Each structure stands twice: as structure tokens, then as C-alpha cells.
Structure 1
Amino acid sequence: MAAVTKDLWINGKFVATERTYPLYAPYDGQQLAAIAKADPGHVQEAIAGAHRAFQTMRELPAHRRAEILFEVVRQLKERKEELARICSLEAGKPIRTARGEIERTIATYQFAGEEAKRISGETIPMDAAPGGEDRVGFTWREPLGVVVAISPFNFPFNLVAHKLGPAIAAGNTVVLKPAEQTPLSALIMGELFHNAGLPEGALQIVTGSGRELSEALISDERVKKITFTGSSEVGRLIKSKAGLRKTTMELGSNSALIVEPDVPLDKIIPRCVEGAFAYAGQVCISLQRIFVHESIYSEFSERFIERTQQLNVGDPLDENTDLSAMINSREADRIESWIREAVDAGAKIGCGGRRDGSTFSPTVLLDVTRDMSVSCKEVFAPIVSIVPYRSLDEAIELVNDSMYGLNVGIYTQNIGHAFYASRKIESGGVIVNDIPTFRVDHMPYGGVKESGYGREGIKYAVQEMTELKFVTIKTQL
């Protein structure tokens, strides 16, 4: 890919900026493009344009919004391999994984188009209360207005889709700020929506530094909702400035899995390894902590390590690559220091722990304690710890001893234990007989505690991006 200049997408056209920054591929350092660096003035222009376009969007009928989203789906299907390659290059995502992301992105916009036609209210039995006789009551949902969407690097197509899809389905306009490392995929979506007939100004895309743009993006009173996926630290900052406006926060996690002694290890270990190391662990619900019953701990650990050592690390465009470079060298530095800290405190490296530039070998840690950074913080890297437990209650206590609560998994063949754990575990989602990394794009998805609040999953995100209005009519004067 030639290092061309990529401009901002404002009011239906590309807009050049005085400043740009180089975009490099995480794996080999190849310069992919020069990316426009927006300033607060560009953000104000984008918000103003989105605010004007909202008057058109709110009057756009549901069938038309659906048609626009379905046309985006059609274009994505036509360009699948091209888009997967872009995703692989700018995010360092193995090409097979990138193809899977494009398929999920197609499904997400498809769900959004379908949901655009299903936004509804309900009737209220007014005469259920004294004084409600001779009245009809009902609700409907109305779009909010301008939505600011701030997306991360790890799923540059699909997590953008989880913000754009429901916002547009509901009749909102969007100002999108993609991650600095993955702007190419977002800018492509500007073109695709334009080609699909989205009204001019309904989607604005500003690229550049989050630190430089966050104040302008968040503080403008014309912005009615902020949806953010990223770190807990940035989420707290955004929330402190958002005030009473609506926010959805998809933040950090140190996702856990409980493995009971009655499960067939040969069936679950490949899936567990996949959940721990897919995309080098740079997934919000990547499997980070595995709690295994003490009776099968040794066998599980040995077989898990054996499977991990079979993974291929290398060029993301190689069809045989399972995981590639981390997003940048700073993240590799951080993980190297966390592993060193854990080993100094008594942890053992079962396998991995090696670094080559920004590439980190898949690492299994044993004898990890709950106070180590690799356990109590979000590693967001190809690291997993395996810890024994004696009873299900102890395992649940270990899982819940976390500031996070996004997805938790449990493997068990005891239906009573499955329901018991589902009740006791403190998380937004409990995945029974699969890893916490499991997600399909129409299910409700979100966390508790410092993992955030609000829910994604198209139907649920539409609810978050609309306002419920109640109407009552007195039928007789």
C-alpha cells in the first residue's frame, strides 16, 4: 500500500489539514499513509455539520435508513478481501482473523438495517390506576441528535460498526473519532455510507490525537451522547466532562474462566488457547485468568502449554500466522515489565515470555497471585495465567475479586452449578460452556464495575441512542 495522504471526512467530502502524522504498520514498520491531524476547529466544524444534518436524519423514514445500511452491507461484501487486508496492515491483525472481523462487520450492519425497522414503543393500560379512565397511553422512541463515537484500534471495522450502525438506524448523526493507529478503516466507512446515500453531514470523521481533540469532542453542548470503547482511565475522564448527557462506556476487563473437573479437556483446551491469544490478546474480553479445579490443574496446564507452543507468530499477512505484533512497542515494553514483576514476585513462566521488537510470544504464567499486575489489571496482551481452586465458591470469589466485570466463562456439565455461578458472578455477561471471549453481534454486551455501563448489541444500543417519549390522550372531554 502506497503512503498516500488521507484527509478528514467532513460534510460529505474529504478535507485536508495543515498537519499530518505518519501511519506505520505494527509488524514491519512500513509507512501505510500520512493521516490528517485534526484540530479543535475541525471538530467544531464536524459537530456543526452533524447538528445541521440531524434535521434531515430525524425525518428520514425507517425504511430509508434501513436501505442505506443494507447498501453498506452490499458494498462491504463486494470488497471483503481488500478491507481485510487493510485491517491486517493497520492493526497488525492476522489475515484470517481480519477476514473474520469483516464478516462480523457485515453482520453488524445487517442487524442495524433490520433493527431500523423495529424501533417501537408500547401501549400503557392507563386505567390500571385510578384517574386513568378514558385515557390511552403509549410510548415511542426518538433519536437524540449528535452522537460522538470514540473507537479503539483492536476491531477497527466492527467496533466502529457497533457505534455507527445503531446510531444511524435510530436516526442520529455521528462524529466519529477512530483510534490513531486505525483510521484507514474508518475513513473507508465514510465513503461507503456516502455511496449508500447517507445525507451529507450525517457522518463526520475526524482523525488525529485523542488528547488534542477530546475536549472539543466532549464539551460541545450540541453533542447529545458519547459512546466510547477504551481504557477505564479515559472513560472516567470522559464521564467527568459529559455531565448529564447520555454515555455508553465499554472499558477494561481481565476476563476469567472457571473450569470444573467434569469437562472433557480435549474439547475445551483448543478453544481456551484461542480465547487467550487471538489477536495477541488485544481483545476486551480476551481470556486472561483461568481458574482450574485442583484435581485437573496439572493435566490442564500441561496440555494448555503444549497447545500454546504450537501457535505460529509472524507476519499478519501470512495465512499461517496465529498472532502477530502488538499494536506498538510501548505496549510490548509494558508487558515485558509486568512479566518481570510477576516472576520477581514468585510466578513461573510455563511457556513464552520472549519478545522480538513489538512481537511477544504467547505466554502462560503459573503460580500467579491475585495482586500481580498480570492478574488484577487488564493485560491486553498474549498473556494468560492458570490458577488452581478447591471449590466452586472459591473460584467464584477469585473471579469476583476484580475491579472489572465484563464477560466471565464457566465450563461445567452440572446445570445446577451453571445457574449458581451465573447468579453469583459479578459481570455483564456469563458464558456457560464457552470462553468469555465469545460474542455475537446482536447479543447485549457490556460490563459492570470499572468495565463500564450501557449495552451494545444493535437492539440494545438503539435503545441507548434514543429517548423514550410518553404520550397520553384523554378520549372524552
Structure 2
Amino acid sequence: MGGRWVDGAEQFEVLDKFHLTPCTVGHVPSREQVSDAVAQAHARWRSAALTPFERGAILDKAAALLEQRSSALVSALQKEAGFPTQDALGELRRCVTTFRLSAEEARNFKGEMVPVEGASGQTGRLGFTLRVPLGVVCAVTPFNAPLNTVAHKVAPAIAAGNAIVLKPSAHTPTPAVIMAECLVEAGFPAEMISVLHGGPETVGHLLDEPLIRFFAFTGSTQAGAAIQQRAGLRRTQMELGSIAFTIIADDADLDRALPKVVNAAYRKAGQVCTSIQMLLVQRKQVQAVAQRLTDMVARLPYGDPASEATVVGPVISEEAARRIELWIDSAVARGATLLVGGERERAVVPPTLLTGVDDSMEVGCQEIFGPVMSIVPYDTLDEAIQRVNATPYGLATGFFTNRLHDALRMARELEVGGVHINETSSSRVDAMPYGGSKDSGFGREGPHHAVREMSEERMVTML
């Protein structure tokens, strides 16, 4: 708070996700400390008046400082999130990119001319818009991207001229703290960013603060709905749950598609909203896809994220691992076939590949959020579209095909926020608009788009 450490009302231990031993301690703020943090942020925002170029310079400098602290960030991501080295390095690279993209958006923060003279009948009348910040933005961020998802909320909020109160996941608090330290060192006013730890109670206190004008949330659909209800007329951006599909047509190039599929299904132990959970394969290709994926998935090294060889590390908790294991066992008991898998060890679930899954099984109708992918055959494009659209979610879908007509049809008819042709559901470039439809949420991340979400348009006319 205000650039200094403050003891909280209580403490909590953060576990190393592989060893399940404490690796750091966090502090949960009291109700009064939450109010103080928000009041400080609002008061300093009122007086700060940072120019767009100053905000851009701060974000660029913070990006460089984050790179300088790469060792500490990678270590924290390995311990607290269970990321293998390549996942941790990828998270850091993308975070730096998000900051630099946001710096450009800060320097280009502007409105536009509006032609009103002819329409108004008033000769000489000018019309233009200004984009203005909202004030205090509250960011509530998840464990599965504890650096880059934080960056996608914090950096655009700063680019738009706002103050930030950040509530990271209690599973992974350290990367958010390091980011805040880098921003303050880069020149961002210390009172304009606070990092408040804890769980739903802390979020509840933040929702009680009327000075917060915008809530940016990534997490479960259930939690997002509760936040949305209490936010009232205040603006929000919600990136929520998903059951992510990728579709392989009978003309798809499997040499191109399957390595991307494996990466998208199992990176970060499948704990990405767009991780492939359901792989729809046109029936002509099913046997070849199953044979090749069985070999590829069986060869994925898993276990200790500190090992350079590891590709799939632990999930976020032993409780989550037990739930995933239960869903796999239940599917197999009800007729699914386990092509690849193994025994859970603490929080490590081996990369798992299933067939024979239907939408009555948990693995087929609920978000599993683990290293589990199911191969499901389909016959016609109509059938594939209906299968994707039948879920309550709509975040992103990948489609591998060489038929342009089919690709364009998918783009028009899939009820999702992103359709990626000859890429997977998990394909994302940080500059693109990212968000969902239906129960997957609304609003868009991506610096150019988030800056507009976190500011408002003011119309000005002059005669």
C-alpha cells in the first residue's frame, strides 16, 4: 500500500505446488485497510495528472525492470504456479510485450473529430471527443497466468490514466507484487497502486468501495456472476469459464495440426481457459489422430517444474488434482477409454488422453482445468458447430482445414469470442482482442481494446 509493506489482519501460507511445502507468506488486509488503499489511490489519482507520454514512459521503463527481475519472476512462477521453465519464460515474455503495447496505447490515448456542423445546422460548430480515465480500477486476477493476465489489466488501466487496486490469486501472489514494485520504481505514483491479498472476503470489501469505478475480473463463471451482481451500475470486464474445442477436418494437415494441439492441451498443465478440452475430429481422421496423439502425449515429461525436461507440471493444488482424477476415473467407469494417463502423485496429474467421452460425463460437460483432452468424432460440419454452440460457454475455438468456405462458415456460425483457423483454441497474440460470449463473459482484453474499456468518451462541441 502506497509503496510500502503493511502487515495485514491475518496471514496465510503460499505452497510450492510440487512439493506442497510453504514457500512464502501473504497478508490479508482488514476492511479498514482496503478502504485506506482505495481512498489513497483515488486521492492521488485526482492530483497526479500524468500526461499520456509520461504514462507511456513509465510502462516502457517498467517493462525493462520486469526483464531485469526475470530470475525472481521465473522462480516465483515455478514455485507458486507450478510452471515448468518454458511456461514461466513464456509468461514473462508475454508480460513484457503487454506492457510495451500498453505504453504505445498510452501515447495514443485520444478521441476523434465528430462532424456536427452540417447535422446541427449551426455554421462553424465543431465536435470532438475526449477519452478520459475512470478513476480507480480494481483488478481481480487468477492463478493460471499470474503475471501476464495481471499485466493485461494493470498496464492498460495505467495507459488510460487510472489508479489500480490489485487483488491477485492467493495461490500466486508474488509475481503481482514484483510487478507493482517495478511500476513504482519506474515512476508510477506509489499511492496509485496497491496489492491486496486474500480471497472472496477481500473481493467483497473491494466491491463495497464506491470509489472503485471499474472491475476487471478473470476467473470462474460463478465468481464472475457474483461480482457482476454486486458491482451494480459500475462497469466491468469479465473473462470467465470455458469448455474449449478445437476441430480437425478430414482435409487437415496433421503434421501441422497435432504439435499445436498437444501444446495447447497440456501447457500450464491444461489450466488455461482456452486449453483444448474437447478435440473434435472428423471421422475419416479419427484413427490416425488417436494413434499419433497417443504416442505424442505419452512422451510428454511431467513432474517437477524445476527440471528442465518437464513439460507438464503440477496443477494448482492437491484438491484440484483429486477432482481431476475423480472425473477421469468416473468417465472410464462410464465407458470412456483411457489412451494415455497414469496415477496422480500429490498435485501432479499425468497428461491424459481419452476417447469415448460424451456430454453426460463431467469431462465432457464441465470445465476440467487440467491436463486432460478428449477425442470426439464428428461426421458433418453442422454436427461440429452444434456441439460447440450447445455448451453455455463461448470463449474460443480452433479449426484446422484447407477449405476456405468451411473456415468462413465457422467464423460466422460459432458462438465464441475468437475463431482461429489452422490454429488451436488457445492461440493468442497479446495485441488481439480477447474475450468471450455467453457464460464465458464480456468485454475485451488486449491493450488497444482494454484501454477503451477502462476509459470513457466525452463529447465536446464548440460554436
Instruction: Output the TM-score relative to the length of structure 2.
Output: 0.98
* 1:240-278 CA distance string (max 9 Å, x none): 100010000000111101101112212211110111111
Q: Counterpart in 1 of 2:133?
A: 143
Which residues of 2 match residues 73-112 of structure 1 at below 5 A? Answer: 73-112=63-102
Which amino acid counterpart does residue 14 of structure 1 have in structure 2?
W
> Does the 8 A contact of 1:327 with 1:358 survive in 2?
yes
Cα distance in structure 1, aligned partners of 2:376 and 2:358: 8
Quote the offset at 1:18 in angstroms.
4.3
- Confirm whether residue 45 of structure 1 aligns to residue 45 of structure 2: no
CA distance in 1, matches of 2:316, 2:268: 10
Q: Which piece of structure 1 moves more, 13-22 or 463-472?
A: 13-22
How far does residue 128 in structure 1 lie from its aligned partner after superposition?
A: 4.6
Per-residue CA shift, 1:31-87, capped at 9, x if unaligned? Answer: 211211222221111111111111134x11111111111110111122223311211
Identity of aligned residues (%): 40
Residues 126 and 133 in structure 1, CA contact (< 8 A), matched pair in contact too:
no
Q: Which residue number corresponds to residue 176 of structure 1?
A: 166
Distance 1:428 1:402 in 2: 14
SS of the aligned residue for 2:370 comes to: coil
Task: Kindly state the Cα deviation for residue 200 of structure 1 after the two structures are TM-superposed.
Answer: 2.4
Give the deviation of 1:350 after TM superposition: 1.4
SS of the residue corresponding to residue 447 of structure 1 reads: coil
- Indicate the residue corresponding to 2:427 in structure 1: 438
Partner deviation per Cα, 1:161-213 (whole Å, 9 max, x = no partner): 001100001110010000001111111112111111111211011112x2221
Amino acid at match of 2:43: R
Deviation readout 1:285-343 (Å, 9 max, x if unpaired):
11111110101111111111110000001110111100111110110121122122222
Aligned pairs, how many? 463
Of 138, 154, 167, which aligns to 2:157?
167
Q: Which position in structure 2 is the counterpart of 1:273?
A: 262
Distance apart, 1:365 and its partner CA: 1.2
Deviates more, 1:362-371 or 1:105-114: 362-371
Matched, 1:337 2:316: no
Q: Which runs of 4+ in 1 moved over 2 A?
A: 127-134
Q: Contact 1:39 / 1:212 at 8 angstroms: preserved in 2?
A: no
Q: How does 1:191-340 map to 2 (within 5 A)?
A: 191-208=181-198, 210-340=199-329
Structure 1 residue matching 2:174: 3-state secondary structure: helix
CA distance in 2, matches of 1:406, 1:51: 33
Contact 2:167–2:203 under 8 Å retained in 1: no
Deviation at 1:354, TM superposition (A): 2.5
One-letter amino acid of the structure 1 residue matched with residue 72 of structure 2: E
1:6: which partner in 2? none
**How far 1:130 sits from its partner (Å)?**
5.2
**Post-superposition offset of 1:345:** 2.5
Alignment partner of 2:354 out of 346, 365, 382: 365
CA deviations over 1:389-419 (Å, ceiling 9, x no partner): 1111111111111111001000010111110
- Taking the aligned partners of 2:389 and 2:19, their CA distance within structure 1 comes to 39
AA at the equivalent of 1:138: F
Per the alignment, do residues 403 and 461 of structure 1 end up closer, same or farther by CA in structure 2, a change over 3 Å counting? same
Q: Which residue of 1 aligns with 2:11?
A: 20
Pick the aligned partner of 1:30 from 21, 24, 41.
21
> CA-atom RMSD, angstroms?
1.2
Q: Any gaps of 5 or more consecutive residues in structure 2?
A: none
TM-score (norm 1): 0.95
User: 1:40 touches 1:212 (CA, 8 Å); kept in 2?
Assistant: no
1:133 CA displacement: 4.2
Shift of 1:236: 0.4
Please list every run of 5 or more consecutive structure 1 residues that lacks an aligned counterpart in the other structure: 1-9
Is contact 1:139-1:468 (8 Å) kept?
Answer: yes
Which residue identity lines up with residue 75 of structure 2 in the other structure?
R
3-state SS of 2:425 partner: coil
User: How big is the shift at 1:134?
Assistant: 3.2
Equivalent-residue separation in structure 1 for 2:155 and 2:307 (angstroms):
31
Q: Distance in 2 between matches of 1:415 and 1:24?
A: 48
Letter in 2 for 1:155: A
- d(CA) in 2 for partners of 1:242 and 1:131? 41
What do the CA deviations read for 1:126-173 (whole angstroms, capped 9, x no partner)?
A: 145353543211111000001110000111111110011000011100
Letter aligned with residue 139 of structure 1: T
3-state SS of the aligned residue for 2:5? strand
Alignment partner of 2:431: what SS? coil
The answer to whether the 8 A contact 2:269-2:313 is kept is: yes
1:158 partner amino acid: N
In 2 relative to 1, CA 18–395 (structure 1 residues): closer, same or farther, beyond 3 Å?
closer
For 1:52, the aligned partner's letter is A
Three-state SS of the structure 2 residue aligned to 1:13 is coil
Amino acid at match of 1:396: I
From the superposition, tell whether residues 261 and 132 of structure 1 become closer, same or farther in structure 2 (CA, over 3 Å).
farther
Equivalent-residue separation in structure 1 for 2:120 and 2:92 (angstroms): 54
Aligned mates of 1:381, 1:445 — CA distance in 2: 21
Matched residues in 2 for 1:133 and 1:292: separation?
A: 63
